[in-house]
Each structure stands twice: as C-alpha cells, then as structure tokens.
Amino acid sequence: MTARFDLIVIGAGMAGIAAANKCAAQGWRVAIVDALPYGGTCALRGCDPKKILRRGAEIIDASQLMRGKGIDDGQIRINWTDLMRHKRGFTDPAPANMENDLRRHGVQTLHGQAQFVDAHQISIGNDSHHTDRVLIATGARPRPLQFHGNEHLIDSTEFLELEVLPPRIVFVGGGYISFEFAHIAARAGSHPIILDHGPRPLKGFDPDLVDLLIAGGDVAGVHVRPSTTVTAVRATASGYQVQVDQDGTLTTIDTDLVVHGAGRVPELAELDLDRAGIAWCERGISVEPYLQSTTHPGVYAAGDAADTAGPPLTPVAVIEGKVAASNMLKDASTVPDYTGIPSAVFTIPELARVGLLETEARDLGLKIDVRYTDASTWYSSYRLGEDTAAAKILVNKDDDRIVGAHLLGPDYTEHANIVALAIKLGLTTRQLKTTTAAYPTLGSDLGSML
C-alpha cells in the first residue's frame, strides 16, 4: 500500500500526539506511526504508572511517620499484585483511548517500525508512504551497558510489570529511575541498593538537598553507594551476584534482581536515518533551535529524539511537539521557551528544581542571595511527622528575581510550580510575598522561604 501525507509523525508519545493533532486540526493529511502501543513512555512505561505505584509507598510512609503519634499501623503493607492491578487499570486502556482520539482528530494511525527510504518516503513493513514532512518523536531507550552479564538486568519498563517484588534489589545508576523505584521498593518491603558510578548521584539537583535525601532514604531502607562501578553480573542458583569496584576495592553483592537505571539515549537506531542523510548524534537528531533538521528542511524532531537545549521531560517534549507543528504549519522559526520549567525526583519526600543550580548561577557571574531554609520543624512537616524538608532559593541581588529554587519535602513540587510561574513571569520575591495563601496549607510556607 502507498499513501501520500502532508506529515508523518514517527512516535506516538506525548510530543508526537500533540503535533499530529495540531496539524490535523488545520486540515493537513497526517499519519502517526509507532512500533509500540500508543502513549509513549510517560503514560505507559514511566511517569504515570510509576506515580501510581508511588501512591502505595506514600501510604506506608505516612503511617510509619505517624507511628506513636496517634496511628497504629498494625499490619498495613503493600499488596504488590493488587497495586499492579490498580496501575494497569490506568495503563491498559490508554493506547486504545489515545488512538481513538487521534482518529477523531482526523489522524491516520499506523503500526510498525518506520524506516526512512529517503527524506520524503517512509516504509512501514511492506507499505511505503510519501510525505512532505516528517516529525521524529521516538523518545528514548535505556543506555547500552558494557559490563559482562548486562543481559541479566531488567529495565524500567520491565520493573513496572513485575508480578512479584523480590526482597533484594540492586539498581545500577544514580539517576531518577533508580531513586524513584528504590523508594517505592523500600516501602513495599524490599531492600534496595543504588550503585552510582560517580561521587554524587542526582547530579542535576542541589548537592546539599541530595545529601539530605540520601540520609533520609537510608533510614527508610534505601542505601546508596557512590563511586561504585559495576564490573560484572553473574546468575547464581539463588539470584544474581553483582561484582563492583568501589574506590579500588572489589566486592560482590548478592541480590534477587538487578535494575538498569543508568540513563537513557535517543531511540533512533531502527530508523535508517543515514539512508535519508539526516544528521544525528548520541544526543539525538541534529536540529536548528526551531527544531528543523540541520540537513533536511522537511524533517523536524522533538522530545528525547532531538538534540535540543530542553531538559528530557515530558512537558518539554509536548512544548517541542507543538512548536515543531506550528513552525511547519506557518513556515516559521519559533524557538521553544524553556524558561522556568521545573523537574522533580518523586522519591519520598520528593526533590524538585527550577532554574539554575548555585554553581551555575555563580559561573554566570550573577550576584545571588542564597536563602536556605531548614523546614523540618515547620508546622507543615510536624503535622505529617516528617523530619526531612528544606529549601534553597537563589535570588538575583540586582533585581530581586528568583534564578533558581531547590526544594525537598512532602509535596514540595507544588512549591516548584509556583516558583516556575514566578520565574516565567519575572515576578520579584517582594511581589510573591504580597500574596496571601490559604492557611494552613503547604503553599503558605513559600513566603517564609523567600
């Protein structure tokens, strides 16, 4: 079968779906294709299902924090099978719902592995389609690991489908995936260990708050080993043996499960990009700031598949998908605005960041006022029984505007959302402090942090 389109979108995640719907709404003939079920990583294999599982961990943690303060947690525990069933109640219907919505918007939905024949011809199985433009939004996959026995590791997708959570788990890598899953696993009764190659995990977050998170996680049963390199993984009669080099000392760790949390790379290997002369590198498709390919004017890229200045976050992918679509529709050169986009690690409690790190601000020559707050004894922490809560707000002394905010505490991502709005709109801390929040709420703490 051969068909002609104004646009073919490769990748049915959030970036691709946003762009396909936008272009179809303007009367374009649009098709979208994916080799996997529609919805992408975030909805099916990442953000959303992970946070559903985290809800179970939150309940356990909340009951433990209130032990001796009016709550007898008794036999409260996570039933992993039931929690997974609850998760699937969201993820299972999602692909069909998304595909049906695309069709309602006039988008033709295709399935299979897309490959370039040239910059304007895409093959999917035995079918070939001609298109004036292509948007590549294929997302990312786990980074290949080089040590012996790497085939024994499961990735984040497989972790989110585990029927049984084993008692001993090793997470390789000190990023989002390892920390978030380890915090869930610990509250579900497992004993997780995070092995990080570098001296400090979660490198994109404030080091002082990361230290607090690690200390609190250790009490909860999440143990982090920095400066630890995995050299091999071997299957044993009872599970796996992980061989590690920690500061020059070789040791082994016996475990039931080893999980890959050592980063992700753009999912581009199966597209035959070289055949179409589309430039790319290990960071993604080479694009202009307005998301058009540097080598083909009819090709655009967005999200994790594109080498852009945006952080690898789902909201950023959606922004880029919409900007790419708008630029194609209008033959324009609009650049995505990444100002004030928050990021978070959904550990317990959660860690969030908006704007610059302290070192980044100083490297830029900014005169900053570092406003650090230990909120562990504040009312909002006390009522929960929580003793890990802190904030570091970076304020430009020249104009009183926030250039960075780093937040650790229960539901502190909501603080991050307010700060993100302030950074986006250029509000000063004086303006923020004139707002009267409902009390007692978490939001009422922000003024005191400023």
Give the residue extent of every domain in the chain: 7-141+265-330, 150-262, 349-448
Rounded Cα distance, 246 and 230, in Å: 9
Q: Which two tokens stand for residue 90?
A: 């969201």
The arithmetic mean of pLDDT across residues 366-387, rounded, is 97
Q: How many CB atoms lie within 10 A of CB 157?
A: 16
Closest by alpha carbon to 278, among 254, 249, 298?
Answer: 298
CATH fourth-level superfamily of 150-262: FAD/NAD(P)-binding domain (3.50.50.60)
Helices (H), 4-142: 14-25, 40, 47-65, 80-91, 94-104
Q: Which two tokens stand for residue 4?
A: 């002609």
Confirm whether 7-141+265-330 and 150-262 share one CATH topology. Answer: yes
pLDDT tens per residue, range 256-284: 999 999 999 999 999 999 999 999 999 99
Q: Is 175 annotated as ligand-binding?
A: yes
Q: What percent of the chain has pLDDT over 90?
A: 97
Q: Is 217 annotated as ligand-binding?
A: no
The arithmetic mean of pLDDT across residues 15-31, rounded, is 98
According to the model, what pLDDT value does residue 247 have? 87
Identify which has the larger pLDDT, 248 or 405: 405
Q: Is 447 annotated as ligand-binding?
A: no
Amino acid at 250: L
Q: Is 263 annotated as ligand-binding?
A: yes
The arithmetic mean of pLDDT across residues 208-233, rounded, is 97
According to the model, what pLDDT value does residue 1 have? 65
Query: Is pLDDT above 80 for 352?
Result: yes
On whether the CB atoms of residues 172 and 260 are closer than 8 A, the answer is yes
According to the model, what pLDDT value does residue 266 have? 97
Q: Which fold has domain 7-141+265-330?
A: FAD/NAD(P)-binding domain (3.50.50)
Look over the chain and give the mean of its residue pLDDT values, rounded to a whole number. 96
CA 47-52-55 angle, to 5 degrees, is 125
DSSP characters over 194-207:
EE-SSSSSSTTS-H
- What 8-state DSSP symbol labels residue 303? G
On whether the CB atoms of residues 129 and 2 are closer than 8 A, the answer is yes
Amino acid at 122: I
Q: Which two tokens stand for residue 383?
A: 């009522």
pLDDT band at 3 (very low <50, low <70, confident <90, very high): confident
The arithmetic mean of pLDDT across residues 329-354, rounded, is 97
Residue in the structure block whose two tokens are 């179809």: 24
Indicate the SS3 state at residue 57: helix
pLDDT tens per residue, range 386-445: 999 999 999 999 999 999 999 999 999 999 999 999 999 999 999 999 999 999 999 999
Q: Is 176 annotated as ligand-binding?
A: yes
Rounded Cα distance, 164 and 155, in Å: 15
Q: How many CA atoms lie within 13 A of 367 on its CB side?
A: 4
**Which helix (H) or strand (E) covers residue 380, if one does?**
helix 379-382
Q: Which two tokens stand for residue 218?
A: 């250790």
Rounded Cα distance, 301 and 307, in Å: 8
CA distances from 298 to 293, 327, 334 (A): 8, 11, 16
Q: Is 365 annotated as ligand-binding?
A: no
pLDDT band at 372 (very low <50, low <70, confident <90, very high): very high
Q: Does domain 349-448 have CATH number 3.30.390.30?
A: yes
Q: Is 17 annotated as ligand-binding?
A: no
Rounded Cα distance, 309 and 312, in Å: 9
**Which contacts (CB < 8 Å, 24+ apart) does range 247-253 have?**
253/170, 253/193
Rounded Cα distance, 37 and 42, in Å: 12
Q: Is 177 annotated as ligand-binding?
A: yes
**Strand 284-286 vs strand 299-301: parallel, antiparallel, or unpaired?**
unpaired
On whether the CB atoms of residues 324 and 336 are closer than 8 A, the answer is no
**What b/e sequence results for 69-102 when a residue is b if at least 16 CB atoms lie within 10 Å of its CB, and e otherwise?**
eeeeeeeeebebeebbeebeeebeebbeebbeeb
Closest by alpha carbon to 320, among 346, 301, 297?
Answer: 301
According to the model, what pLDDT value does residue 75 have? 78
According to the model, what pLDDT value does residue 199 have? 94
